[in-house]
A and B are shown apart, each in its own frame.
Chain A
Amino acid sequence: DSGVTQTPKHLITATGQRVTLRCSPRSGDLSVYWYQQSLDQGLQFLIQYYNGEERAKGNILERFSAQQFPDLHSELNLSSLELGDSALYFCASSESGRQGDEQFFGPGTRLTVL
């Protein structure tokens, strides 16, 4: 158990809908990262937050947004969902803002868009 929690574990929704994925980092970790893992694309870095502020951006679509709250939990919002958004979404956390830090991954949320 990495200490990172993600909810829900599974999510099934329809095209065009909007969903919110939630992540609670390990106690004491200030950075949260979001990743998307699909069969054809592998693991893709989406975005990083550090202590409430956006720190780095990867291959995140404009339909997706994220935020980190004062209690350090984070939410990833996915809107206007398409079939291709079906994937595993992982959250990871680390102590500081440096991407070189060891990242601890949560168990993931499996999103299925029908």
Chain B
Amino acid sequence: EDQVTQSPEALRLQEGESSSLNCSYTVSGLRGLFWYRQDPGKGPEFLFTLYSAGEEKEKERLKATLTKKESFLHITAPKPEDSATYLCAVLSDYKLSFGAGTTVTVRA
């Protein structure tokens, strides 16, 4: 069975304090790994898709990387508006499995 584990569960950062979120996975044939951002009471918002080990993607203060067993979401010099829950999902065959998420709080 596909497994997606995100760590840490929660992360409290000071504005400007860079950090990384981890998503480790066990799937039978990875077809893609996705990062989403979710604000309280709202639907997830797509951030990145990664398809193969070594791939990297960037968007503003966020950078996602992928290895054969895990993905990292690096947040550089975060701002309070980066506070959200970040979800990782892996696609194998036709099934998309989500991790439980990492809730990031950035204090000014």
What is the interface of chain A, defined by CB distance below 8 A to chain B?
2, 4, 42-45, 48, 55-56, 58, 90, 92, 99-100, 102-108
Contacts and interface: CB of A to CB of B under 8 A. Distances in A.
A31 B95 CA distance: 15
A106 B94 contact: no
Contacts of B89: 43
A105 B44 CA distance: 6
Contacts of A99: 31-32, 91, 94, 96
Interface of B: 31-32, 41-46, 49, 51, 87, 89, 91, 94-101
Nearest to B46: A102
Nearest to B47: A102
B103 to A, nearest CB: 12
Nearest to A9: B41
B45 to A, nearest CB: 7
A56 B95 contact: yes
A104 B34 CA distance: 13
A45 to B, nearest CB: 5
